[in-house]
Amino acid sequence: MNIGTRVRGGGTPRPEKWGIDSEYGVLRDVLVGPIDHFTWQPGNAVAQRAERVGLQFDFEVARRQYAEMLDAYRQAGVRVHVLPAEPELPYQIFARDSSVMTPWGAVVMQLQKVYRRGEYAGCLRFYLDAGIPIYDLVTAGNVEGGDFMVLEPGLAICGHSGERSVETAVRQLRSWFEAEGWEFHDYAFDAHFLHLDVQMGMLEEGLAVCCVEAVEPELVGWLRDHGIRVIPVSYGDAMQLGTNVVALGNGRVLVPASSKALIAACRAEGLTVYDPDVSMIANGGGAVHCMCQPLARDRVRVRR
SS3 297: strand
**Does residue 46 carry a pLDDT above 70?**
no
Half-sphere exposure of 129 (CA within 13 A, CB side): 10
**Does residue 191 carry a pLDDT above 90?**
no
64 CB neighbour count, 10 Å cutoff: 13
Task: Report the distance separating Cα 195 and Cα 164, nearest Å.
Answer: 7
DSSP for 29-48, please give it: EEEE---TT----SSSHHHH
Q: Where are the beta strands (DSSP E) in 22-147?
A: 27-32, 79-82, 99-102, 105-108, 134-137
Q: What is the pLDDT of residue 1?
A: 58
Name the percent of the chain lying above pLDDT 70: 96
Instruction: Indicate the pLDDT class of residue 50, thresholds 50, 70 and 90.
Output: low
Q: In sequence order, which residues have a C-beta less than 8 Å from that of residue 176 and are 6 or more positions away? A: 6, 135, 136
Domain range spanning residue 161?
27-297
Within a domain: 124: yes
Within a domain: 2: no
State the average pLDDT for the chain.
Answer: 94
- 9-44: pLDDT as tens digits: 999 999 999 999 999 999 999 999 999 999 998 766
Within a domain: 12: no
pLDDT greater at residue 192 or residue 86: 86
Give the CATH number for residue 199: 3.75.10.10
Task: Report the distance separating Cα 139 and Cα 84, nearest Å.
Answer: 24
Name the percent of the chain lying above pLDDT 90: 88
Is the model's pTM score more than 0.85? yes
Within a domain: 302: no
- 157-170: pLDDT as tens digits: 999 999 999 999 99
Within a domain: 6: no
Number of domains into which the chain is organized: 1
Task: Report the distance separating Cα 197 and Cα 201, nearest Å.
Answer: 6
